[in-house]
Structure formats: C-alpha cells, structure tokens
C-alpha cells in the first residue's frame, strides 16, 4: 500500500502546474526528451531547449516510482520521498529562467542513501528504531548537493546498519533485472533505483563493498574514492577506519560530475582535510582558499587507455564461466584501445593476510570502534532518539523483532558484540599500528612490482545471488555459486583507502548484469575515471531492465 507521504505527493502532482520555460532556438537543440537512461547531458540539453523542466523531470520519476516501487514488482529501493521535491524543482526552474543554471546538477533529482543526514527527511540507517528520526541539519554532502541545485528526491533503501540488502523499515530490496535476486549491500536502494531509472544520480556509502557491489549487481557505475576525499560528516558511521561515500550513476560522465560537487575538505571530518592537503602536495593548485580546484570531468577522454598498463588479477576469475567470458571481452576491448596488460596472481601470503580469513579478521578488529562512533553520532540527534547501543538492542528485542520486519541476526550480532569490545584492546592497537600499515604497503607494492597503473578484474565472480532473507527467500537453481576470493575488501582495509570504480561489462544469459573494476592507488580517482570512461564509450554495454519498461509519457516532445 502506498504510504501517506507518497499519496500526498501524487495528490499534489495531479494538480501541479508544470512551469514552462522558453529557451532560444538552437540549430542542434533537441526537439524531444526521453526519460529512460537520461543523463546529465541529455537533461541539460533538453532543459536549455525548453523541452522539459526540472518539475516535469521530477514528475516523470515520481510516476515510475509509483508504478514500480510502490506498485508492480515493489522493488523496495526507496524508503522516503521528499514531499517538497516538486516545489523545490519549480523554484529551481524559475532560477534557471531568471539567473541561469548553477551548474550541471541544477534541477537534477538525486537519491541519498538513508544514512546521509537531511534536515527535512528522516535518516533511518535502515533501522525501524530511527524511521522517524529527522537530523538537525544536512550532512556535508547533502548541503553541497543542494547548493549545486540538485533536487533531493528522497532517501534510498539500505541494508540495516549498512549491512546486506534488507532493513527493518522497508524490508528486502529486489534486483530490477531478476526479482528472485538481491541487489548487493548495503547501498542496495541506490543501486536498484538508478538501474530502474528512478532518478539520475544517487549517493551510496562503501565500507567494504557497499557502493561497488550494488553498482555491479545492478549494472551501473559506482566509485569508491580514496577514504576522506568526500567528507563523512553527517553520515551514520559503520566503520570510520574505512567508511566513504561514493557517487552512483548510469554513466561515468555523470559520476565524475557528481564527484566534483561532493568531494571537498571539511573541518568536521579531519580525515578529509588531511587527504586534500596530501592531494595539494602532489598536485599544486588542487586547493585554493580551502576549496577544491580539481575537475574530474577533465579525465573523460576516449583515448585514456592508450599507453596504460593494467594488471589483470587472475585470482578473481574462475567463479562463473559467463562472467569470465564477459571479463575477457572487456580486457580485449581495453587492449584494442591501446592498453597493455600484465597477468597477476596474488601470493598465498597476500591472500591469507588481506583477503579471506585475514580480511575478515581485519574487519572484526576494526569494528571494535563501532560502539563509540555510533553513540557519538546518536548524540547529534534529538532527545527522542535512543542514545546507546544497549537501547537499540533492547528496543529491537522487545519491539522490532516482534513486528513483520524483524532485525536480521547479523545486525543483532554486530550490536551485541560491540557492547563487549573497545579500541583500548591490544588487538585493536595492533591493527592500527601494524596490520593496516602493512596492508597499505603490500597493496602499493602490487603496483610497483608489476609496473602497472591500475588493477583490473571482474568485480564479482558470480551474478547477484538469490535472496536469502528467510521472509523473502526463493529457490533459484539457475544460480552459479562462486568459491573464488572476492576483491571487495582490497580497497578499504588499509590506513588510507584505495579508490575503485566499476563499470558495466555486459549481461549473462539470465539477463543479470556484471561490472568490470578498475582499482588504483590512493588519490588517483581521475586516472580511474579516465580508464572507465574510455572503456565505457568503446563498449556501451549498459542497458535498462526489460522488466521495467518505459511508461506512457516518458518521451516528451517540445511544444
């Protein structure tokens, strides 16, 4: 059943007059606009030509959300819609008409993962305990997006406490390409919603894999930057040793444009100041009066792969023959674009220490800081919000777990375990002082030993798995399970997070997408964006789900 909030939006929508903006006729101006797979470029061209307005764009996306999110397959990709989205869009249309656009995100609908604070909507972190919690102000990146003219369309679903793809607020998020499969976690809603054409851009957050995993399983582009490139202020923490927000979109160009807006130093996140100072050392002029001067769109070059040396990591192949075939074709395409490739097989010592059991141990020890970070975040919220982990455990056990949407056991385990651990533990201190610095050194050594500019591999060695939550679990014997090592934690589990970008490399015979990954050294987002763009433009393998076809009215003709 559609929520009261959404019924209110669509009642308003039915009676809203969409602002019409006249634009000068241009010889190459578009005469029509197509919503499906719309990009920043196509939208801005249509707005400049007077074909559509931001208000009309919001209206079209809300109609798709009504059809496929609240109805039809019920993807469960969005937890809250902004009741002021149409009003905000109309105001931005008037501003565009009178003063011009602020930039490429002016009037563009954006979804935020529901751990990013917004002053005008709840930020639940996927927890029913917080489903009505409205923070006192915007997260740093939410404010940056609003300042750039973006329309915050709503809050995307996420795995509860940033784990998995189920939460106790809305339930299980469904993959738009196969309703029996999940979306990856924990930016499940951000990945599914962008793949389903519910918005133009989305923000996810990535601790282990939570931007890149959902992007790969949903066939979109996702970037996990160097940890600290984007401020974490106002984002509910999962593990601040590794947490990073990241842009998600259907194209590399749109990811780069969004990164321009949300990447900046912020005194409320000291790590971001440290990272940007380091960037400024390496690239004089990258900061001016504390403001970034890097334009990530300058790396969008079709010949960016020419002369690049890429390390193909074979440890991440061998899970599903279909994925291996897609990855082989992707690498062949990169070679045809001028890239050189080197075969890399990780040593057993590396795998044992930083993937597999070693990686799990890193995460286990790092989570010793979870309780202190989470309770510090809770202190920023209003008096009606519980203030301790113990409060959450009690409410979950006595209330939420007796509801139709109980908390998953993995979340309860995290909460309870965090009550008995501390950063003063010698094992945690060893992690910070020895294990993570060792991980950073070992990962950097991969680039030096093999003389490569980036590592390349299929992001997952299996397609999106069947939904496993007991309340939604379905039998799907077509799934090919992989026992191969997964590359997710290669990026974050270090003293400084390594950047990685994933871009569509095609679809399996079941119609499910998968992405190829470019993995780079810290501070080299621009290089990775260039490689991903060159491959994307030469392959153009992204396509919408046939299960969510365009609705009537999604092609707009100029009047």
Catalytic residue, chosen from 165, 168, 186, 272, is: 186
Question: Chain centroid to CA 525: how far?
Answer: 15
Write the secondary structure of 238-307 as one string of H (helix), E (strand) and C (coil).
Answer: CCCCCCEEEEEECCHHHHHHHHHHHCCCECCEHHHHHHHHHHHHHCCCCEECCEECCCHHHHCCCCCCCC
Residue from 395, 405, 6 nearest 173 by CA = 405
Per DSSP, 34 falls in state E
Distance (Å, whole) CA 347 – CA 438: 15
- Pairing status of strand 32-34 against strand 555-557: antiparallel
Tokens of 286: 């990258």
Q: Which residues of 18-28 are buried (b: 16+ CB within 10 A; e: fewer)?
A: bbebeeeeeee
- Pairing status of strand 109-113 against strand 151-156: parallel
Catalytic (active site) residue 186 = yes
Catalytic (active site) residue 264 = no
With beta carbons less than 8 A apart as the criterion, state whether 489 and 360 touch.
Answer: no
With beta carbons less than 8 A apart as the criterion, state whether 225 and 256 touch.
Answer: no
Catalytic residue, chosen from 54, 56, 77, 113, is: 113
With beta carbons less than 8 A apart as the criterion, state whether 9 and 85 touch.
Answer: yes
With beta carbons less than 8 A apart as the criterion, state whether 489 and 354 touch.
Answer: yes
Distance (Å, whole) CA 4 – CA 244: 33
**Who's near 20: CB < 8 A, 6+ residues apart?**
50, 53, 559
Catalytic (active site) residue 210 = yes
Catalytic residue, chosen from 54, 210, 418, 462, is: 210
Helices (H), 178-235: 188-195, 212-218
Residue 307, exposed/middle/buried by CB under 10 A (0-12, 13-18, 19+)? exposed
Q: Which residues are annotated as catalytic?
A: 113, 186, 210
């Amino acid at each position: 059943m559609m929520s009261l909030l959404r019924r209110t939006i669509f009642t308003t929508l039915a009676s809203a007059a969409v602002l019409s903006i006249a634009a000068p006729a241009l010889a190459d101006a578009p005469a029509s606009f197509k919503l499906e797979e719309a990009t920043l470029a196509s939208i801005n061209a249509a707005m400049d030509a007077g074909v559509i307005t931001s208000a009309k764009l919001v209206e079209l996306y809300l109609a798709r959300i009504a059809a496929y999110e609240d109805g039809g397959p019920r993807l469960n990709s969005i937890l809250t819609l902004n009741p002021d989205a149409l009003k905000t869009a109309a105001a931005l249309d008037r501003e565009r008409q009178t003063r011009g656009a602020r930039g490429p995100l002016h009037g563009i609908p954006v979804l935020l993962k529901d751990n990013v604070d917004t002053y005008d909507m709840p930020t639940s972190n996927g927890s029913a305990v917080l489903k009505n919690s409205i923070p006192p102000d915007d997260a740093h990146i939410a404010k940056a997006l609003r300042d750039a003219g973006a329309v915050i369309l709503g809050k995307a679903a996420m795995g509860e406490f940033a784990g998995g793809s189920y939460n106790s607020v809305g339930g299980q998020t469904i993959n738009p390409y196969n309703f029996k499969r999940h979306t990856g976690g924990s930016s499940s809603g951000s990945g599914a919603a962008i793949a389903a054409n519910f918005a133009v851009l989305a923000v996810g957050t990535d601790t282990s894999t939570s931007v890149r995993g959902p992007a790969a399983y949903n066939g979109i582009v996702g970037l996990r930057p160097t940890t600290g490139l984007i401020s974490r202020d106002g984002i509910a923490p999962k593990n601040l040793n590794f947490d990073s927000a990241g842009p998600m979109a259907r194209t590399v160009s749109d990811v780069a444009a969004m990164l321009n807006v949300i990447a900046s130093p912020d005194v409320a996140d000291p790590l971001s100041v440290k990272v940007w100072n380091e960037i400024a050392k390496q690239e004089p002029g990258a900061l001016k009066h504390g403001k970034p001067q890097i334009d990530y769109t300058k790396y969008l070059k079709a010949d960016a792969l020419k002369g690049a040396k890429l390390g193909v990591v074979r440890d991440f192949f061998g899970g599903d023959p279909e994925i291996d075939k897609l990855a082989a074709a992707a690498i062949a395409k990169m070679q045809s674009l001028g890239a050189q490739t080197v075969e890399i097989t990780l040593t057993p010592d590396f795998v044992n220490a930083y993937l597999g059991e070693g990686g799990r141990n890193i995460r286990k020890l790092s989570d010793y800081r979870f309780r202190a970070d989470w309770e510090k975040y809770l202190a920023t919220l209003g008096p009606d919000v519980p203030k301790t982990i113990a409060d959450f455990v009690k409410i979950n056990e006595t209330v939420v777990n007796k509801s139709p949407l109980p908390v998953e056991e993995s979340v309860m385990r995290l909460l309870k375990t965090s009550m008995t651990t501390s950063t003063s533990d010698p094992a945690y201190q060893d992690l910070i002082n020895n294990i993570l610095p060792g991980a950073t050194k070992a990962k950097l050594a991969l680039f030096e030993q093999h003389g490569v500019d980036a590592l390349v591999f299929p992001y997952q060695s299996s397609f999106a798995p069947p939904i496993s939550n007991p309340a939604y679990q379905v039998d799907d014997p077509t799934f090919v399970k992989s026992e191969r090592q997964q590359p997710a934690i290669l990026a974050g589990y270090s003293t400084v997070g390594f950047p990685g970008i994933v871009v569509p490399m095609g679809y399996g015979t079941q119609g499910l997408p998968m992405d190829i990954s470019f993995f780079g050294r810290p501070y080299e987002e621009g290089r990775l964006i260039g490689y991903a763009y060159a491959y994307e433009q030469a392959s153009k393998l992204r396509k919408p789900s046939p299960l969510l076809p365009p609705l009537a009215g999604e092609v707009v003709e100029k009047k």
